[in-house]
Amino acid sequence: MAVIRSRAALTVQHDVLGAAHVSEVLGIEPSESFEIGDGFARGTRTREHSHWALDSPADGDLESQLRALLNRLEPLHLALRDLRDEGYRLTWTCYCEERDGDGAISLSAGLVNDLGTFPADLWIDAFIDTEPLA
């Protein structure tokens, strides 16, 4: 199998409003978050936007992880639309690590359709692991 590791999350970002508001609206705590003005890069820089992310509760391939997120977030569909209407940017954020660049990412038509019913864009970062196989 050419894709050796994947991860999926829903991320919610805003340039003015905060991540804490997302938790209040959705009623769930994020896997990670930061607020505008928070320091990073050893305190040499500050965040210019808020960020709220919920990682998939599933392991395995990207399809399984995205499906688990959809199932978790389906009851919050209207709340996510409200956040979008407040100007938050919602994104299905996916990372796939490929072995030596020999990989393809495939998602079923049903999953793509279901993702499309949410007010979120889909972003997939595929990168190559160039470490030699043992």
pLDDT by position in tens, the chain (length 134): 465 678 999 999 999 999 999 999 999 999 999 888 877 777 777 888 999 999 998 888 899 999 999 999 999 999 999 999 999 999 999 988 876 666 678 899 999 999 999 999 999 887 766 665 55
Residue with tokens 């009851």: 75
> In angstroms, rounded to a whole number, what is the distance separating the alpha carbons of residues 70 and 118?
9
∠ Cα 81 85 90 (to 5°):
60
> In angstroms, rounded to a whole number, what is the distance separating the alpha carbons of residues 78 and 127?
33
Provide the CB-side half-sphere exposure for 68 (13 A, CA): 15
Domain boundaries, the chain: 3-129
Q: pLDDT tens digits, residue range 8-31?
A: 999 999 999 999 999 999 999 999
